Amino acid sequence: MRTSLLHHALVALLITVLAAPLLPLQAQKPARNTRMDWWREARFGLFIHWGLYAVPAGSWNGRTDYGEWIRFSAQIPLKTYDGFVAQFNPTKFDPAAWVRMAKAAGMKYIVITSKHHDGFALFDAPGTDFDVMSTPFKRDIMKELSDECHKQGMRICWYYSIMDWHHPDYLPRRAWETDRDTVGADFDRYVAFMKEHLRTLVTTYGDIGILWFDGEWESTWNMTRGADLATFVRSHAPHIIINNRVDGGRAGMQGFSAGGVSAGDYGTPEQEIPATGLPGVDWETCMTMNDHWGYNDHDTAWKSSRDLLRMLADIASKGGNYLLNIGPRADGTFPPESIERLEAIGAWMKSNGEAIHGTTASPFATVPFGRCTQKAIKGGTRLYFHIFDWPSTGTLLLPGLTNRVRRAYLLANPSHAALPMRATDEGIEVTLPTTPPDTINTVLAVDIAGSPAIITAPQIMASADIFCDTLHVTLAKQPARIVTRYTLDGSAPTTSSTMTTTPIVLTTTTTVTARNFRKTGAVGLASSRTFRKVEPLAALAVRDPLPGLQYAQYEGRWKALPDFRSLTPMKTGIVPDITPVRPAGAEWYGVQYNGLIRVDATGVYAFTLASDDGSRLTIDGQVVVDHDGLHSLSERSAMVPLSAGYHSIAIDYFQGEGGDGLVLTWGRAGAPQVPVATDRLFHE
């Protein structure tokens, strides 16, 4: 699943994401809404990564940390990898059991790898013998699974990789495949081959819910080819849903298409959950149960049932779908750890599934005790409060809710007995039992009249929490007949406190506390934010620095950043910026950059470090951004006060298998960030 991204494309995409708000993938046309209806209702699905890579089970030449990318990561020659075909014989494959387990877990659709990057097809694929019919098993797995899904009322969906490490016409080749030349290779011929696969997949297995594309990031694929492929698929299956990986516009692992332009229907964040969700955008988080997509018999890093259940609630509360992965073993069975987690999820869903299926995103900006989902009911709305932290006081406050409440009850209580409640200035207060029915997530259902009417705590806004000279603080505008009052001494606002009209100018460390009021008095919760006046880091005494940064390159396998100072570099030199350069033939490597950054004006600066995998930014000996560890392409940000002049800067980075990704952006607090330009980087 992990993707390769060229650095220049990564920079462009990150700039786009940072500089502009995300838009819907395409206009909300009636035809799209019609085909998306069942998907939006489902909210929860099963991802299955299965293929020849299950045979080595993650192990090769003494290493045990491989997954579905094993042919690429271990650089296995094609002829050697083809030998797995004769070993693939999943005699314990039971499609009925697979579907039953998914259904019992509350999942509504299954997405399975009909063909992954290695090119091996789990169906009777036209134009190739590199498929399941050439194995000792000799049965069309996709047909058996789709038949069982249709029988049990489960949506069957296909994953299909555009990238293909096996087909002779697919380009580009892996750099290490010196035994495979490209003479006579024709990428257009490969596209025709791929279209025949897709035509077969969407016309011969009954109704197919989704075509889940992947492997679209290489240079031979683009937006035009993606749009053409989507058109081709829909010419054979007009109602099929297609994800945004059909074309070349995906912005890294975040999974959303830059500028909202895609031939697909929804975004696909991988191994992460968007912090606040994205209103108006359909999206689906795909995630592993442990560290690998394909089966690895040494991978014991299983997420707990508790974490998986809370992730499900978190994703639904933000308006997304959860596609949870299992990598079956080579014999056709699910790992027992996966089965245990499906059963635990299913036990919870049996009582609480209605708080997931068919729900929409929370109407609350935040819920301090957990999450919230909602759905329309006759004459009103049912709010589902997912309680992660059970209140020790015996009462739960639904902050800022002003609707008339018809009733409140726990979904886990079969009788749905009404709970006592009362309206307060801060919201609706519900009396709960002393102990929760479920310590992981107890769901409180609250039926209200009409659509949710919530008065949120005032939003206190500023460019940063720290400042060097003065800082302008503003309070968000409130609805009509609501006024916001504030204090600057940490005390609770009252009806006699100052009413906000203009920005508040701070010159010293101050705690701003704000609350909303109407004629009847205070309403909703108060909010508070402390702003600290700080001294900027002093500039260094530097004379005539030279352009560029010093760098040292290392090779090794790490799960976290090593102490590069204790290692012997493979290569050193001067580079103009931090563009990572992979050593020839290396899958894992690290780089340390050292030098100076020039700051023109004293102030607070925001730095964002985006990387795949671990990275760390240090300025003047202080760690500013720590983004260490194995992870997909993602970013972290921090603020630092700097005096005008030169400051020491160090960037540590390591990369595992997959694509390189390292970008540093910066800007004055509150201003747009841009990549650090080469004319800002120096060394002595």
**pLDDT digits over 612-633, tens only?**
889 999 999 999 999 999 887 7
Question: What are the C-alpha distances in Å from 659 to residues 13, 218, 252, 548, 584?
Answer: 15, 11, 10, 24, 14
Instruction: Assess whether pLDDT exceeds 60 at residue 334.
Output: yes
* Region label for 175, one of left (φ > 0), alpha (ψ between -120 and 50) or beta (otherwise): alpha
Tell me the C-alpha to C-alpha distance, in Å, between residue 495 and each of 358, 361, 454, 491, 560: 42, 34, 21, 13, 53
Spatial contact of 352 and 397, defined as CB atoms under 8 Å apart? no
- Residue with tokens 């696969």, as numbered in its chain: 197
| C-beta of residue 243 within 8 angstroms of C-beta of residue 213 | yes
Cα–Cα distance for residue pair 606/625, rounded to 1 Å: 10
Look up tokens 């090119």; give the residue: 119
Q: State both tokens at 323.
A: 């596609």
Q: Which residues contact 466 (CB under 8 A, 6 or more apart)?
A: 531, 532, 533, 534, 604, 639, 641
Q: Convert 92-142 into a string of H (helix), E (strand) and C (coil).
A: CCCHHHHHHHHHHCCCCEEEEEEECCCCCECCCCCCCCCEHHHCCCCCCHH
**pLDDT average, residue stretch 301-328:** 98
> For residues 169 and 563, what is the distance between their CA atoms, to the nearest angstrom?
44
- DSSP category for residue 377: E
Distance separating alpha carbons of residues 414 and 350, to the nearest angstrom: 11
pLDDT tens, residue by residue, 396-407: 999 999 999 999
Q: State the pLDDT at residue 489.
A: 94
Predicted confidence band at 434 (pLDDT cuts at 50, 70, 90)? Answer: very high
Q: Which residue has the tokens 């504030």?
A: 486
In sequence order, what DSSP letters do the residues of 609-678 get, joined into one string? EEEES-EEEEETTEEEEEE-SS-SSEEEEEEEEE-SEEEEEEEEEEE-SS--EEEEEEEETTSPPEEPPG
Residue 156 structure tokens: 């069957």
* Phi, then psi, of 223 in degrees rounded to 5: -65, -40
Tokens 């729900």 label which residue? 359
pLDDT band at 141 (very low <50, low <70, confident <90, very high): very high
Residue 99 CB partners (closer than 8 Å, separation 6+): 110, 145, 148, 149, 151, 152, 154
Could you tell me whether strands 380-387 and 442-449 are parallel, antiparallel, or unpaired per DSSP bridges? antiparallel
Report d(CA 161, CA 216) in Å as an integer.
8
> If DSSP codes are grouped into helix, strand and coil, which group holds residue 241?
strand
User: Hey, is 508 helix, strand or coil?
Assistant: coil
Q: What distance in Å separates the CA atoms of residue 342 and residue 345, rounded to the nearest whole number? A: 5
pLDDT at 100: 98
pLDDT band at 3; cut points 50, 70, 90:
very low
Quote the CA–CA distance of 8 and 579 in Å, as a whole number: 9
461 neighbors 474 (Cβ within 8 angstroms): yes
pLDDT at 12: 37
Q: What's the pLDDT tens digit per position in 184-232? A: 999 999 999 999 999 999 999 999 999 999 999 899 999 999 999 999 9
Contact 210, 157 (CB under 8 A): yes
Residue 57 has pLDDT above 90, yes or no: yes
d(C-alpha 265, C-alpha 212), whole Å? 10
Alpha-carbon radius of gyration of the chain = 27
> Taking Cα atoms as reference points, which of 637, 650, 618, 599 lies closest to residue 468?
599
DSSP secondary structure letter of residue 353 = G
Q: Which of the pair, 182 or 10, is modelled with greater confidence?
A: 182
Strands 510-518 and 549-555: unpaired
For residue 362, give the 3-state DSSP assignment.
coil
Summarize the confidence of residues 228-253 as an average pLDDT. Answer: 91
Residues in the chain: 684
Distance (Å, whole) CA 481 – CA 427: 17
Question: Strands 405-410 and 442-449: what pairing?
Answer: antiparallel
Q: Maximum Cα–Cα distance for the chain, whole Å? A: 82
Token pair, residue 540, equals 């260094």
> Rounded to the nearest 5 degrees, what angle is found at the Cα of 49, between the Cα atoms of 47 and 53?
170
pLDDT at site 117: 98
Q: How confident is the model at residue 10 (pLDDT cuts 50, 70, 90)?
A: very low
Domain 370-449 annotated CATH 2.60.40.1180: yes
Which whole number is the average pLDDT over 49-59?
A: 98
Q: What residue type is 54 in one-letter code?
A: A
User: Does pLDDT of 367 surpass 90?
Assistant: yes
pLDDT band at 23 (very low <50, low <70, confident <90, very high): very low
pLDDT in tens, 263-309: 899 999 999 899 888 888 899 999 999 999 999 999 999 999 999 99
- Per-residue DSSP letter, 178: T
Phi-psi region of 412 (alpha: psi -120 to 50; beta: other; left: phi over 0): alpha
Angle formed at CA 557 by CA 553 and CA 558, multiple of 5 degrees: 95
Q: Compute CA distances 603 → 468, 476, 667, whole Å.
A: 6, 25, 10
- Whether residue 19 has pLDDT greater than 50: no
Residue 659 CB partners (closer than 8 Å, separation 6+) = 2, 3, 4, 5, 6, 217, 612, 633
State CA 15 to chain mean position distance.
18
In the predicted structure, residue 27 carries a pLDDT above the cut 80: no
H-helix or E-strand spanning residue 442: strand 442-449
Task: Tell me the torsion sign for CA atoms 273, 279, 281, 282.
Answer: positive
- The pLDDT of 433-443, averaged and rounded, is 97
State the pLDDT confidence band at 53, using cuts at 50, 70 and 90: very high
Give CATH for domain 546-683.
Answer: 2.60.120.1560
User: Are 366 and 400 within 8 A, CB to CB?
Assistant: no
C-alpha separations of 6 from 3, 14, 233, 258 in Å: 10, 12, 28, 16
CATH of domain 43-243+270-350: 3.20.20.80
Q: What is the mean pLDDT of residues 106-121?
A: 98
| CA angle 173–177–182, rounded 5-degree value | 50
